[in-house]
Chain A
Amino acid sequence: MTTTTPAILEARGLTRQFGGVVALDNLDLTVNANEILGLIGPNGSGKTTFFNVITGIYQPNGGTVTFENADVTGASPQKMYHAGVSRTFQRSRLSLPLSLFDNIMIGNHKRLNQGLWFNLMRRQAFRDEFEKNYQAARALLEIFSPPLVRRMFEPVGTLPMIDRRRIEICRALISAPRLLLLDEPSAGMTHDETAALMNDILLVRDQNRNLTIVIVEHEMGVIERITNRCVVLNFGRKIADGPYRSVAADPLVQEAYLGASV
C-alpha cells in the first residue's frame, strides 16, 4: 500500500486550549486518502481532542483544517458529517432506549428524506425508503454480528458493551463516509473480541477501498496489524510519524510511553 496518494485531511498548526492546558499544540497532521492511520500516544496527549476539533465539537484556537481540498476550519459537526466525516466516540454515545435499527439510522441522516410532508403524508413512499434502509442496516450488521440481526428492534440498552461498540461502528459506516474516525473502538473488550472487531473493520474496508480510517487505539498489536502508518502525539504535539515498526523503535516515543530515562 502506498502513502503517496493525495491528502484527504490536512491539519496545519492546529491549536486548542482548555484554560491553561494546551491540548493541541501547533499540530501538523496529514491523513492520506484511503489509508488506515493509527493515532497513538499516552493518555491526555490530545488524540480525542483532535477528533473533537476535526468534527466541529470544539472550535480550534488556531490553525487550519482542510478536508478534500476545502477549508473546513471551525466547521460545524453537521457540516463535517455532510462533507463525509463520520466517527465513533471514546465513551459509547448510543441512544440506549432506542432500537438497534434506530441507532444505526441516526447515522444515516443525510440519506433519509427529512421532509415533513414525505414523512407524515406519503406513507407508502416512506415505507419503500424504510425497506431499502432496513436492508442496508441489515447487510452491515451481518458483517459485524449476524446474531444481532434478529434483535434489530430491541433497545440498544439491552446489549452488552461489545455489541454496543459494534452498533456504534455501524452507525458511523451506514452513510458511506469518506473518512472514519474510530476513537478506541475496542475499549473494554477482551483480546479475542478486539481481534474479531478489527477483522470486521478490515472486511468493511476491503469492500470499500474509498474509505480512509483514523483509529485511536491503545493495543499496539492491533495498531501494528491494521495500520499503514502511525502518528504519535504527546502533549498535543506530533513526536513521530511513519510505519508502526519505525515509530515503535523511536526513542522519543518510548520515552513518551515509559517516562524519561533518568
Chain B
Amino acid sequence: MTEMNLSRAPSPASVPVPSSASLWPSIVALAFATAYLIALLAVEEQTLIIGLLTAAVVAVVAANYLGLFVPVGRSFAEHEGTFGLAAIVAAFALAAYFHEDHFVLLLVVTVILYIVATLGLNVQFGYTGILNFAGASFFGIGAYTSAVLNAHTAVPTLLVVLIGGLCAALIGSLLLLPVLRTRGHYAALVTIAFALLFKTFLEVNDVLGGPQGLQVGGMHIFGWSFNDNLSIGGIELSFYINYFLISMLLLVGAFVLVRRLERSWIGLNLDALRLDETAASCFGLNIARWKIVSFTLGNLLIGMAGALFGMVGSFIAPNNYTFADSLILVSILLLGGIGNAWGVIVATIIVVIVPEKLQTIQEYRFLIYAALVIAVLLFRPEGLLTRPVRRYFPGVRS
C-alpha cells in the first residue's frame, strides 16, 4: 500500500489490476480435492479404489469440458497466498483424519518429501533447463548422510537434515564442470553416469553397509524422540505425526523459497539462459554462475528431503536410489507441468499415491508411468498444470 505515494505517474498501476475474482472457487476445489484424497486413502478394497480413480478422471474431464476450472484458476491466481494457507490447513486436516494410521501417514510424509525433492529438480530443469537424471542419487546422499551422522555422532538431527542437503550440494558440485561444459542431452548423460556410479559405489562400499544398506537413527529434538507414539488429551497419535510436522515445515520453507526465486530477477535470469544462452550473454548474464546457483540450490533441496526421508524410513539401501527412481522424479516434473511448483504438488500426489493404493498394478508400475508420461508428452506437453507467465506480486493492486 505504501507504494501508492511513490508512483505519482499518470500510470494507474504497477501490476495489472486483477479483475478481483472471488476466493471461493479455488477453496471449494481444494475442499473437494482434500475430501477425495481422504476417501481414496481410507478405502482398501481394490474395486472401490478403481471406481474412485475412474470417477476422478471422469470428473476432471467433465469439469474441464464444462469450463469449471476457469473460475478456479482465476481465483487461485489472485489469491495464491490465501490458497496456500488453505492448502496447509487441508494437509493438517488429512493428517488429523489418519492420526492413528501408520501406513497412510508414512505415505503422506513420502509425498511431502518427494515434493520437496521435485521442487529442487524444478529449479534445475524447470527454470534453468539442466536435466538432472540423478535426483534419486542426491536424495540418497542426504539419506546416507543422516544414517552415518546419526549412528556415529551426536550432531542434532535437525542440523543433520541441513548437512544432508549441503553434502548433496557439495558432491553435486563434482558434476558442475562437466555439466557446465555440455548442454542439453549431453549434460543429462553426465547425470545418468553419476546415478549409475553412485549406486555401484554404495554397493561395493562396506563402510556404508554395502548392498544390505544401513539403519538410520530416528529424529530427536531436545530429547523429544520422533519415533515414539504421541498421546494428546487421551488421543493416541502415530509417531509419523512428528515426521509429518517436520516434513510440512521443510515443504513450506522450500516452496516459499522456490516461489520467491521464480518471482525474482534470479528466476528471470534462469529462464533467460534456458531459453537463449547467446542472447542472455549479450545482456550480461554470467551463464556459468547462474547454472551453478541453480544446480547447487536444487541439490540442496533434494538432499535435505533425502536426509529427512532416511530418518522417516529408518532403513536405507542402495536399491532405493537407482536410476529408475530418478526417472520417477523426472516423470513427476513432466506430469505436473515443467516449471510449475503447484503442478509438482499435484503430480507427486498422483505418482506416489496411485500405485500404492492400486496394489494390483504394483508389478506394472513402470509401465503405467511410461504410458502416463508418453500420454502427457503427446496430448499436454506442458504438463497437467501449465506454467503461467511470471507475475512478481500476484493479486496485488499498488
B280 at the interface (CB under 8 A from A): yes
Interface string of B10-42 (1 = CB under 8 A from A): 010011100000000000000000000000000
- Closest residue of chain B to A76 (Cβ to Cβ) is B281
Check B260 against A106 for contact (C-beta < 8 Å). no
Q: Name A104-139 residues within 8 Å CB distance of B.
A: 105-107, 109-110, 112-114, 116, 119-120, 123, 126-128, 130-131, 134-135, 138
A12 at the interface (CB under 8 A from B): no
How many pairs of A and B residues are in contact by the CB < 8 Å rule? 116
- Asked if A102 meets B390 with Cβ closer than 8 Å, knowing A113-B265, A131-B7, A131-B398, the reply is yes
Chain A residues lying within 8 Å of B389, measured Cβ to Cβ, are: 97-99, 102, 153-155
- Complex-state Cα separation, A154 to B388, whole angstroms: 10
Check A57 against B282 for contact (C-beta < 8 Å). yes
- Closest residue of chain B to A154 (Cβ to Cβ) is B389
- Complex-state Cα separation, A109 to B16, whole angstroms: 23
B356 at the interface (CB under 8 A from A): no
Chain A residues lying within 8 Å of B6, measured Cβ to Cβ, are: 128, 131
Check A95 against B269 for contact (C-beta < 8 Å). no
- Closest residue of chain B to A150 (Cβ to Cβ) is B16
In the complex, identify which listed stretch (A40-48, A61-69, A81-89) lies at the interface while the others stay far away: A81-89
A55 at the interface (CB under 8 A from B): yes
Chain B residues lying within 8 Å of A86, measured Cβ to Cβ, are: 282-283
B268 at the interface (CB under 8 A from A): yes
Check B279 against A89 for contact (C-beta < 8 Å). yes
Check B283 against A107 for contact (C-beta < 8 Å). yes
- Asked if A119 meets B266 with Cβ closer than 8 Å, knowing A97-B275, A138-B11, A154-B389, the reply is yes
- Closest residue of chain A to B387 (Cβ to Cβ) is A97
Check B3 against A109 for contact (C-beta < 8 Å). no
A78 at the interface (CB under 8 A from B): yes
Check B265 against A99 for contact (C-beta < 8 Å). no
- Asked if A93 meets B283 with Cβ closer than 8 Å, knowing A99-B389, A105-B265, A127-B3, the reply is no
Check B392 against A106 for contact (C-beta < 8 Å). no
Chain B residues lying within 8 Å of A130, measured Cβ to Cβ, are: 14, 392-393
Check A78 against B281 for contact (C-beta < 8 Å). yes
Most chain A CB inside 10 Å of its own CB: which residue of B264, B269, B283, B393: B283
- Complex-state Cα separation, A95 to B283, whole angstroms: 13
Q: Name B358-398 residues within 8 Å CB distance of A.
A: 387, 389-393, 398
- Complex-state Cα separation, A153 to B16, whole angstroms: 8
A171 at the interface (CB under 8 A from B): yes
Chain A residues lying within 8 Å of B285, measured Cβ to Cβ, are: 78, 106, 109
Check B282 against A114 for contact (C-beta < 8 Å). no
Chain A residues lying within 8 Å of B271, measured Cβ to Cβ, are: 95, 97-98, 102
- Closest residue of chain A to B286 (Cβ to Cβ) is A78
Q: Name A159-176 residues within 8 Å CB distance of B.
A: 171, 175
- Closest residue of chain B to A155 (Cβ to Cβ) is B389
- Asked if A153 meets B391 with Cβ closer than 8 Å, knowing A95-B271, A119-B261, A131-B3, the reply is yes
Chain A residues lying within 8 Å of B266, measured Cβ to Cβ, are: 114, 116, 119-120
B contacts with A, residue count (CB < 8 A): 37
Check A119 against B275 for contact (C-beta < 8 Å). no
- Complex-state Cα separation, A105 to B260, whole angstroms: 17
Chain A residues lying within 8 Å of B257, measured Cβ to Cβ, are: 120
Q: Name B163-211 residues within 8 Å CB distance of A.
A: none
- Closest residue of chain A to B275 (Cβ to Cβ) is A95
Check B279 against A126 for contact (C-beta < 8 Å). no
Tell me the minimal C-beta distance from B106 to chain A in angstroms.
32
Tell me the minimal C-beta distance from A150 to chain B in angstroms.
8
Most chain A CB inside 10 Å of its own CB: which residue of B276, B278, B392: B392
Chain A residues lying within 8 Å of B283, measured Cβ to Cβ, are: 81, 86, 106-107, 109, 171, 175
Chain B residues lying within 8 Å of A95, measured Cβ to Cβ, are: 271-272, 275-276, 279
- Closest residue of chain B to A85 (Cβ to Cβ) is B282
Chain A residues lying within 8 Å of B275, measured Cβ to Cβ, are: 95-98
Q: Name B218-232 residues within 8 Å CB distance of A.
A: none
Check B14 against A57 for contact (C-beta < 8 Å). no
- Closest residue of chain A to B289 (Cβ to Cβ) is A114
A77 at the interface (CB under 8 A from B): yes
Chain A residues lying within 8 Å of B286, measured Cβ to Cβ, are: 78
Say which residue of A126, A149, A153 sits within 8 Å of B264 (CB atoms).
A126
- Complex-state Cα separation, A114 to B269, whole angstroms: 9
Chain A residues lying within 8 Å of B278, measured Cβ to Cβ, are: 57, 77, 93
A152 at the interface (CB under 8 A from B): yes
| CB-based closest 8 A-B pairs | A119-B264, A77-B281, A81-B284, A95-B275, A93-B279, A109-B284, A112-B265, A99-B389
Residues in chain A within 8 A of chain B (CB atoms): 55-57, 76-78, 80-82, 86-87, 89, 93-99, 102, 105-107, 109-110, 112-114, 116, 119-120, 123, 126-128, 130-131, 134-135, 138, 149-150, 152-155, 171, 175
